[in-house]
Chains A and B, each alone.
Chain A
């Protein structure tokens, strides 16, 4: 039996102690995704009041589908942003991979093989970028800018003079355009809640086994209830018929939703619970300290770039699934919006701080602004301006909060 631990671990105290500790962390400037989550609620209330269409079933479903590409690209970028690096080419790399995929399928290749080759473009590009950054020492901004400029050219060559190719692969089109059956949505919710519950209980039992204090059970219950209420509400709404034409009913959770949830869970698992994830944060925080701790810093950097481009290719796949075609201009804007989403959600551009959840919530904020302003009939220009203002605001709030006091993490 180990000696009883008397040092504090942040898990002590009852409900009251935990809540006050949480608020003192907030005051310390460690707000995480809270401002972005508040923004989601405020924006939803705002647009629900301003536009009668905003809270309709069809628009909420649209919102999920619209934000998926941005969400996945923003989550992809987190891996390099954590290192304090950037990959401006993530979007065009994804688009190039998808151009290759569509071109090959249109010339008679089996689509799974073509898809694998498309993803290989992402993987290899990430590796090359990583080599340039980690081994040669070219700033990631510059080398990824080079790819950003070069890849659209590659796409033009692949796509030919038309600059656009139709996607003819039905299973890929289904990702964004087909919905799960009603029971499927509930099954997704059940699996998500069970995974969250199992992980929480597992962590708790491991703490108890080594005699560490644990938080009051009520927090775990509250977390699961929150999952059930929010998730249940969303599934319920998406399962209502939402077609504008009665003869052609549309209902169910879009297939893309469980895919995004799966990517977020898997990525978060890697970041929080594996050695590689820990080393990403360490290298982002202090590369020299990481090196001296025996971490192969170059390898971590290269892997991060490979994950970013590959995950971004997943975003590209969703994009072509939604559009039904791949066009030569694809991938240029999305990457900058994704950086904005990550920052709005609370990911630091200086490295070492941020989670996939932050990026996802930031993507939702930007998507809501886009969607809501569009519904109100504002031209796209207004949406761009508001997005820019929100980004500036988020960065300013973050900078001011951090100025006040250094944060504390649990």
Chain B
């Protein structure tokens, strides 16, 4: 088996007396969608925030491309190529798609914004993901639907040279058709060689798009399964804690 893009080993995190992550192992591969599932309070968000550098882990090993890494700030994570799309998307509604995609990383030429160059690059990034639902790259985000906004947020990570894209419940607030659009986009992202880690509560989505399913239960990684070799009943069993004997504490 090829080397994992990201490898976590025995990662721990506690908040005061509460152990949220109790020694988690996880592997995410480039070109694959890994779904991270688990009930509320299982530690999914904490695991993500550690990878994003927002809330560093207390202990444990993080390998990126096989190299041991310390993730202490979002900047360090971003420098490695780890980008997170949070549920609230963090888009400015008053700015257009190009401006949002380049926010904080505008390209400049003699001190002024290179609008044309950025516009072309943004259009190219959207095209590379076969995005066809957007009417114009100069539309303001306020005029976009939920699915289109998600698309812009995901395409932004591509522009930032992401290698691992972490998606926090990308379909949570979407209707049926838009969910379909976003899932297709997630699939294309992986097909183009990006590693994708997707938090989801929706097993239908997970089985539709994921290659691997990692299940967290009360701070333990109780299973990392290949989607093709498992069933939703088995996954539900792991999520609810019925399928395994989890050591407490």
Contacts and interface: CB of A to CB of B under 8 A. Distances in A.
Interface of A: 2-3, 5-10, 28, 203, 206-207, 209-212, 269, 272-275, 278, 281-282, 284-286, 288-290, 292-295, 352-353, 405-410
A9 B136 contact: yes
Contacts of B104: 290, 293-295
Interface stretch (B1-9, B20-28, B111-119, B166-174): B111-119
Given A7-B126, A7-B127, A288-B90, A206 B136 contact: no
Given A9-B136, A286-B91, 11 more contacts: A5-B127, A7-B131, A7-B136, A10-B137, A206-B114, A210-B117, A278-B113, A285-B92, A289-B92, A293-B103, A406-B143
Nearest to A10: B138
Interface of B: 74-75, 86, 88-96, 99, 103-106, 108, 111-117, 119-120, 123-124, 126-127, 131, 134-140, 142-143
Contact of A285 (B88, B93, B114): B93
- Mostly, the A contact residues are loop
Given A7-B136, A273-B113, A275-B113, A285 B94 contact: yes
Contact of A352 (B90, B94, B137): B94
Nearest to A275: B106
Nearest to B127: A7
A340 B131 CA distance: 43
Contacts of B106: 275, 278
A286 B93 contact: yes
Most buried by A among B75, B137, B143: B143
A5 B124 CA distance: 7
Contact of B90 (A28, A275, A278, A286): A286
A3 B124 contact: yes
A274 B113 contact: yes
A9 B123 contact: yes
Contacts of A284: 94
B127 A3 contact: yes
Nearest to A5: B123
Contacts of A274: 111-113
A206 B116 contact: yes
A2 B115 contact: no
A209 B143 CA distance: 29
Nearest to A277: B113
Given A8-B136, A8-B137, A10-B136, A212 B103 contact: no
A203 B111 contact: no
Given A7-B127, A9-B136, A409-B138, A2 B90 contact: no
Contact of A408 (B103, B105, B117, B143): B143
14 contacts: A7-B127, A10-B139, A203-B116, A206-B117, A212-B120, A273-B112, A275-B108, A278-B95, A278-B99, A282-B95, A286-B90, A293-B90, A293-B103, A293-B104
B94 A281 contact: yes
B94 A353 contact: yes
B134 A7 contact: yes
A407 B113 contact: no
Contact of A9 (B88, B89, B138): B138
Contact of A212 (B89, B108, B116): B116
A8 B97 CA distance: 12
A405 B89 CA distance: 22
Given A3-B127, A28-B143, A406-B143, A210 B95 contact: no
B139 A289 contact: no
B51 to A, nearest CB: 15
A311 B108 CA distance: 26
